[in-house]
Amino acid sequence: MNANTQYNRSTTMAACLLAASVTLSLATFGCKKSDQAGGSTKKTVISVQGSDTMVNESQAWAEAYGKVDSTVSIEVGGGGSGVGIAALINGTIDIANASRDMKVDEKAKAKANSGKDPVEFTVGFDALAVFVHKDNPLTEITLGQLASIYAEGGAVTQWSDLGVTVPGCDGSIRRVSRQSNSGTYEFFREHVLNKKDFKLGSIDLNGSKEVVDLIGNTPCAIGYSGMGYANAKVKMLKVSMKPGEPAHEPSVANTLSKKYPIARPLFLYTLGQPTEQVKKYIDWILGPQGQKIVEESGYVPVPQKSAP
C-alpha cells in the first residue's frame, strides 16, 4: 500500500519535472529567437496615438510614409484625443493626434512630467458636420437650436419643435453623441454648447464612424461627426450662426473661408521640438504629399504658404 503511493508520487513528480524542463527550454529558446529577430531589423519606431477623427488619416500617412522612408515604422492608435494627450504626458508615445487643443492644465502636466513644453502642429481642418437620417426633411439648423437639443436644460426634445415630421420616427429626437474621451465631444461642447454640459440620456458612441452608421439606420437620430464620414444613408445639415443668417454646408471652401461655424483645426503634438525622424515625418505631413492625404481622407488641408 505504502510502496504503491510512493510509486505514484514519484511518477507524478517525474511528470512535473518533465513539464517544467520543457517549459524552461521552450522559454529560453523563445528568448533567443526574439533576440535574433530584434537584432536583424533596426527600424525606428514612431508611435502615434489619439483622436479617433484622425485615425484613418493618420494610418494613411503612416502607410504612405513607409514607402518614402523604409527605415521608419509608424504605429498608429486611436482612443480619442484625450487618450492621446494623456499618453503624450506620460511619455509613452512620440506624437499625439488631437482634434482639440491641449488644455492649460494638460500643458502644465506635460511640462512637469518631462521638463519640455508640448509643441503644436496644425495639419489640417475638419468641419464638424451635423448628421440626420436621409429621410429627415430638415435641411438646416442654427447653433442655438443645436444647443437646445443637446445642452442640459435645453427645451427641444421633439422633431416637431423644429417644425418637421420625420417619416419612420415617433417624434422624439434621439441624440447621438460621443464618449467623453473624444476631442469631437469636447469641441462640440465648447463651440456649440458654450461649455455647458450635455443633456444626459444621449447615446454615447465610441467612434466617428459609428455615429454616422447609427444615424443612417435610425430615422429619429441626430448626431455630429467629421464630414469625412458622410455616406449615402445620412444627410449633412447646413448650419447657421443665428436665425436669419444664411446657413452654410460643411465643405472645404466654407471651412477655409470660416463661413461654416463649427470647423476646427486638427493638431499633432510632440513633447519639445521634434528631432530627427519625428521631425522629418511631421515635415513630410505638412508637405504636399501629406496634405494630399488630408484631402483624400475627407478633411481640409492647411493652405500652403510658400512651398519651399
Which CB, 140 or 204, lies closer to another protein?
204
Question: Between residue 47 and residue 106, which ones bind another protein under the rule CB under 8 A?
Answer: 79-80, 82-83, 86, 89-90, 106
Question: Which secondary-structure segment (H or E) carries 52?
Answer: none
Cα–Cα dist 227/122, whole Å:
18
Question: Between residue 106 and residue 135, which ones bind another protein under the rule CB under 8 A?
Answer: 106, 109
Q: Minimum distance between the CB of residue 43 and another protein, rounded to whole angstroms?
A: 27
Residue 172 interacts with another protein (CB under 8 A): yes or no: yes
Position among 180, 231, 257, 273 found at the interface with another protein (CB under 8 A): 180
Alpha carbon distances (Å) from 300 to 53, 54, 227, 235, 288: 13, 12, 10, 19, 13
Structure letter (DSSP) for residue 258: T
For 16, other C-beta atoms within 10 Å of its C-beta total 10
Contact of 167 with 180, CB cutoff 8 Å: no
Contact of 269 with 98, CB cutoff 8 Å: yes
Residue 202 interacts with another protein (CB under 8 A): yes or no: yes
Cell for 169?
Answer: 420616427
Which CB, 34 or 217, lies closer to another protein?
217
Which CB, 199 or 235, lies closer to another protein?
199
Residue 8 interacts with another protein (CB under 8 A): yes or no: no
Ramachandran area for residue 297 (φ above 0: left; ψ -120 to 50: alpha; else beta): alpha
Position among 21, 139, 160, 217 found at the interface with another protein (CB under 8 A): 217
Q: Minimum distance between the CB of residue 177 and another protein, rounded to whole angstroms?
A: 9
Residue 173 main-chain phi, psi, to 5 deg:
-85, 125
Binding site for another protein (CB under 8 A): 2-3, 6, 9-10, 13, 16-17, 79-80, 82-83, 86, 89-90, 106, 109, 169-170, 172, 174, 179-181, 186, 189, 195-197, 200-206, 210, 214, 217-221
